[in-house]
Amino acid sequence: MRNFRDCLSVCGLTDLGFVGKRFTWCNERLEEQRTLVRLDRIVANEEWRRIFPEAMVHHVSMIASNHCHLMMSMKKRNLNKPRKKRFFFEKMWTHDERCKEIVEMA
């Protein structure tokens, strides 16, 4: 383990942190025999962090595995910014006599 930590240090890699459950692995035993640890991590260097300052690592629930899935979001969504809605054309509109005029005006 020491060699691995030394390698991360030499390469300038640091843990990106996380959002969500604290642990990423469980031995699936009960009570006193249960072991929960954070084994899985995503690391990056300072240059990468400058390029992607809003990157976030999410720990996703352990449902089908004894490991948490890691999901990285690269950019926060701006919840205040209105999103454009998709336009769907309805064929029935062509039966309205004003349809051609409205399309031409638009």
64-88 pLDDT tens trace:
678 888 899 987 555 566 767 777 7
Average pLDDT of the chain is 85
For residue 55, give the nearest of 8, 19, 105 by alpha carbon: 19
User: Is 38 inside any structural domain?
Assistant: yes
User: Is 85 inside any structural domain?
Assistant: no
User: Is 33 inside any structural domain?
Assistant: yes
Q: Which domain holds residue 56?
A: 2-78
19-28 pLDDT tens trace:
988 888 888 8
User: Is 24 inside any structural domain?
Assistant: yes
Q: What six digits make up the tokens of 33? A: 């025999």
Band of the pLDDT at 62, cuts 50, 70, 90?
low
- Number of Cβ within 10 Å of residue 40's Cβ equals 15
pTM, whole model, 2 decimals? 0.61
Pairing of strands 25-26, 36-37: antiparallel
DSSP state, 39?
Answer: -
